[in-house]
């Protein structure tokens, strides 16, 4: 189970990636046993960004099927709207933060919150690019197939 957040500022959304990957995604991580999804998102953002985010509302629950690192995955993803404190760096389209997370070096940047920008950056799950400019008002559940992310 992966929990991620979409945090917006001045028409941009925060994204991150492990530096060895070609694609970007929305920040978050795996839930730990006994932890609610909102607790997961707050913990992950504290660990990765060093700030306390406000988890607002659930946007999507997604059963995502994909191939990655020579394995097939069935991921349950919960995507929340979150508020990132103004103290967190904002500089459009530059790397604004880096952190070591286990074996991964992560980097974060703000990108325009538009379909065009998300498609150009190759951000799975890919349906979010289609909905980024008009977020759902009520939570939506989707079954999605991102395909082969090794070719991304």
Dump pLDDT digits (tens) for 44-93. Answer: 999 999 999 999 999 999 998 877 778 887 888 999 999 999 999 999 97
Note the pTM of the prediction, 2 decimals. 0.91
Mean pLDDT of the chain: 92
* Cα separation, 123 vs 43, whole angstroms: 23
| Predicted pLDDT at 152 | 59
Tell me how many domains the chain contains: 1
Q: What percent of the chain has pLDDT over 90?
A: 73
Residue range 15-28: average pLDDT? Answer: 92
Residue range 38-46: average pLDDT? Answer: 98
User: What CATH number is attached to the domain comprising 58?
Assistant: 3.90.79.10
Range of the domain at 9: 2-148
Q: Who wins on pLDDT, 70 or 34?
A: 34
Q: How many CA atoms does the CB half-sphere of 125 hold within 13 Å?
A: 27
Answer whether residue 137 shows pLDDT above 80: yes
Tokens for 55, please give them. 């988890």
48, 21 in Cβ contact below 8 A? no
Tokens for 45, please give them. 């953002």
* Cα separation, 81 vs 56, whole angstroms: 5
């Amino acid at each position: 189970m992966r929990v991620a957040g979409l945090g917006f500022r001045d028409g941009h959304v925060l994204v991150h990636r492990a530096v060895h990957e070609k694609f970007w995604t929305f920040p978050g991580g795996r839930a730990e046993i006994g932890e609610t999804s909102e607790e997961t998102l707050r913990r992950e953002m504290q660990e990765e960004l060093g700030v306390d985010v406000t988890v607002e509302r659930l946007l999507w629950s997604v059963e995502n099927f994909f191939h990655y690192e020579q394995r097939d995955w069935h991921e349950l993803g919960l995507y929340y709207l979150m508020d990132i404190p103004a103290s967190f760096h904002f500089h459009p389209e530059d790397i604004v933060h880096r952190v070591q997370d286990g074996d991964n070096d992560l980097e974060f940047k703000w990108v325009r919150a538009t379909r065009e920008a998300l498609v150009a950056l190759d951000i799975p799950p890919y349906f979010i690019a289609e909905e980024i400019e008009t977020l759902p008002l009520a939570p939506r559940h989707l079954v999605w197939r991102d395909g082969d992310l090794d070719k991304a």
